[in-house]
Amino acid sequence: MHTIDDLLAIMARLRDPVNGCPWDVKQNFDSIVPYTIEEAYEVADAVDRRDYRDLCGELGDLLLQVVFHARMAEEAGHFRFADVVAAICEKMVTRHPHVFADTGADSADEVLTHWEAIKRQERAARGDEDTSALSGIARGMPEWQRAIKLQKRAASVGFDWPDVQPVFAKLHEEIDEVREAFAQGADPQRLTDEIGDVLFVCANLARHARVDVSAAMRHANAKFERRFRCMETLATEAGSQLASHSLTEQEALWDRVKARE
């Protein structure tokens, strides 16, 4: 049975300038980041499919990314993998006083409130002078996720609709503004602004519904892909290619696929 020490040793060997792997040796933080993000999404995909055997492998791939970054950091004299472990252990203990200290928390929402309060204290201790409720929200995360974070932070100080009905009203308002922009032949910049408002409100709608935006989009993408492939199959079975059908005929095939489901 291999251990984390074995993985660290393998990574060190791969990064050896003389006897290592040429591809691994030439990588840096910037070149590895896209792979780190990709592996995180593959973990999410395995969870979404409830494929636990695949999840085991994908978690290993994601762990490799952590080890890769830590190895490059150690080579540059920044920190080691052990420092990563120590930092996250300390953070987990500090941010869970209801478990490791005497502070109580009766609900998940209360835990999150304490978590954010502790994060603000940590930023203040580091000398971060940004006291906004929106401070500390990373800019590197997917924008839909950042939208949710911004909305949750605003809601934490009371800036939020009391229920979902005003969100629907706002969504209709923003869609009308997009429609108007198209009718006026608006330039791409205005359309970007207006469509962005629609997407921001959609994220807010998902938040009020307690629906994960990423999971919802994965489901929608999977549904579209499944139905589209079925359309292609129906066309092939009829002795033709989907591209040879008119839009009306294609829509009829789409309706047939939907009816089957």
The predicted pLDDT at position 147 comes to 93
The predicted pLDDT at position 71 comes to 98
Residues of the chain with pLDDT under 70: 128
Domain ranges for the chain: 4-94, 215-260
Q: What are 129-139's pLDDT values in tens digits? A: 777 878 778 78
Closest CA to 132 of 162, 98, 159: 159
The predicted pLDDT at position 215 comes to 85
The predicted pLDDT at position 207 comes to 94
The predicted pLDDT at position 169 comes to 96
Is residue 17 a contact partner of residue 25, using CB atoms and an 8 Å limit? yes
195, amino acid identity: I
Is residue 234 a contact partner of residue 255, using CB atoms and an 8 Å limit? no
The predicted pLDDT at position 157 comes to 84
Query: Which CATH number does the domain 4-94 belong to among 3.40.50.2300, 1.10.287.1080, 3.50.50.60, 3.30.450.40?
Result: 1.10.287.1080
| Long-range contacts from 155-164, C-beta under 8 angstroms, 24+ separation | 156/113, 156/116, 157/133, 161/204, 161/208, 163/208, 164/205, 164/208, 164/209
The predicted pLDDT at position 99 comes to 82
Q: What are 188-225's pLDDT values in tens digits? A: 999 999 999 999 999 999 999 999 988 898 889 999 99
The predicted pLDDT at position 88 comes to 95
